Structure 1
């Protein structure tokens, strides 16, 4: 459960404690069996890697690029830090590109990003 974005330790521990009770687990399974749930497997190596976009992209809108990244399992970052995995840059990237290079964050052109996700 620690891979679920936005789910912290407190919630994870609460779920674990709740489902230790066999009656509660059995009831939850019964309810889930009534639902028509599609299981989506994400076998991408990008799961939990972070990505940030900067500059003007030429082939994609920023929102479209973010959507594609999310669908591949990336977490969208809001700033450059040493924990950032990828910075995708377009024209006029500004200071984010320089900071990413200083921190030795992997930088990608838009074309390289598209190759990475395909």
Structure 2
């Protein structure tokens, strides 16, 4: 019980510094097994509040790209535990925002709206889930297969068959450096 109280206190203290932190940071701060920052970001794209996430089934969670059965089970198990339910209630009472921030721009107004990106190979700057989250945050779509609808194929180290398919279909490819420049330009950093 003392350990649980200390844990609750630590979570509240770590989040209390800013009650308006993004939902993904709150989910990450909860310390759900296997859920790092990038997975927390992916979860907030699908579930717009802690309550929606808490009610999610293994099957719903498994439909999210990169969330496999192990992570889905970990999330479901976390929200089943009474102690964790109490932590969330204490956060709610402390005034911590447990919903996703409303996006001001309409999806079609975002800089990458209408563009579909497919990633192949290993990126050095960030993980695949992080890259996909950045694309989606700017209005783009992250695809898993190269099709005629694909706008760009981002090529990292040791690319797979997606590169050959992109070349065969005449789809524009971007190096990681070109992709980073495109993201910076789209987010107004250059």
User: What value does the CA root-mean-square deviation take over the aligned residues?
Assistant: 1.6
In structure 1, list runs of 5 or more residues that go unmatched. Answer: 1-36
In structure 2, list runs of 5 or more residues that go unmatched. Answer: 1-100, 185-190
TM-score between both structures, scaled by the size of structure 1: 0.64
Deviation at 1:39, TM superposition (A): 5.0
Pick from 150, 175, 189 the counterpart of residue 109 of structure 1.
175
Larger proportion of strand: 1
Deviation at 1:85, TM superposition (A): 0.5
Pick from 98, 105, 117 the counterpart of residue 41 of structure 1.
105
The whole-number CA distance in structure 1 between the counterparts of 2:103 and 2:155 is: 33
Pair 1:53-2:119 in alignment: yes
Which residue in 2 is equivalent to 1:72? 138
Q: Secondary structure at the match of 1:100?
A: helix
Q: Which structure's relative contact order is higher, taking Cα pairs within 8 Å and 6+ residues apart? A: 1
1:77-112 per-residue CA deviation (whole Å, 9 max, x = no partner) reads 110111100110101102110110111111111111
Which residue in 2 is equivalent to 1:83? 149
Q: Secondary structure at the match of 2:164?
A: helix
Runs of 4 or more off by more than 6 Å in structure 1?
none
**Relative to 1, partners in 2 of residues 1:99 and 1:44: Cα closer, same or farther, differing over 3 Å?**
same
How many residues get paired? 82
